Chains A and B, each alone.
Chain A
């Protein structure tokens, strides 16, 4: 994974069928970038549902959570609608997994993103990262600690 202290690589991906999101658009906010293997799978659903419920806690830290997988924008639209997510899911779809590769969290064998977390600060610098063991939902305690550390160090 990319080391803390490095500039988070820029990207632009579909967040809805007719909208794209650039990392740079979110400058000034902390970003929780959550790569995950697949929409609809049980572990990913639980993990994303947890982040969804945490919107109050994230906004307290001026943080925005973003999910990224290789699923298409239409698949994300259906998944997000079904689970009532309030945060964007980005489609790392074409070229497949390009952004996951850029962040060094692509599983070549499965053709999916790994389950991996990055916390990026207001200036676009990676401050914390975590690669989850296969099939394990990492929860959010690590993210919360990282966000708190960032607020403390100001």
Chain B
């Protein structure tokens, strides 16, 4: 079974209770339709599991297949520099059909970013390096398509439709508790 490498750390964006017993990591591509379908499912699972779950998103853009995926990932990283990673992550997945440069600026504005600063930040090479590091860590962790999920560090190859995924996570919670 493939293991998450490196483990969740200070460079990651974490949503939910940081000391939750369940840790769910997604490697995703903002332009991938399956990731788009997983997005509302994860939201519902987060609601159901509440404080028992923390959620982490790492970038895995498949740029040759999805030409806007890399820029979308950069936009989310740039939003993170203004502490609005999740706002950008969400608005991108909610508008997956339109991820061209112009649209990304519109989203930046509508989530309340300082757009001038955002325009500067997306040129920052460090963000490119961060997205590439995420991708590399994904390959190393055995990502074989998007979305790929890891539960408490172990790759989850099962069904991620809402019901099956929730039940599986709950069963893992039972084991841990």
A residues neighboring B (CB under 8 Å) = 46-47, 49-50, 52-54, 56-57, 83-86, 137-141, 144
Residues of B within 8 A of A46 (CB): 144-145
CB-based contact A50/B144 at 8 Å = yes
* Interface pair A83/B64, CB less than 8 Å apart: yes
CA distance A47 to B145 in the complex (A): 8
B residues 85-140 touching A (CB-CB < 8 Å): 132, 135-136, 139-140
Q: How large is the interface on B (under 10, 10 to 19, 20 to 34, 35 or more residues)?
A: 10 to 19
| Closest Cβ–Cβ distance, residue A143 to chain B (whole Å) | 9
Contacts between chains A and B (CB distance < 8 A), count: 45
Judge whether B62 and A50 touch: CB under 8 Å. Answer: yes
With most chain A CB atoms within 10 A of its CB, the pick from B61, B62, B132 is: B62
Would you give the shortest CB distance from B171 to chain A, in whole angstroms?
23
Chief secondary structure at chain B's binding surface: loop
Of chain A, the residue at the smallest CB distance from B135 is A53
* Given the contacts A57-B136, A57-B139, A138 and B62 also touching, CB distance less than 8 Å: no
Hey, which chain B residues are within 8 Å of A139, CB to CB?
2, 139, 142-144
Of B64, B132, B140, B144, which contacts A52 at CB under 8 A? B64
In the assembled complex, the CB of A97 is this many whole angstroms from the nearest CB of chain B, namely 25
- Asked if residues A83 and B65 are in contact (CB atoms below 8 Å), the reply is yes
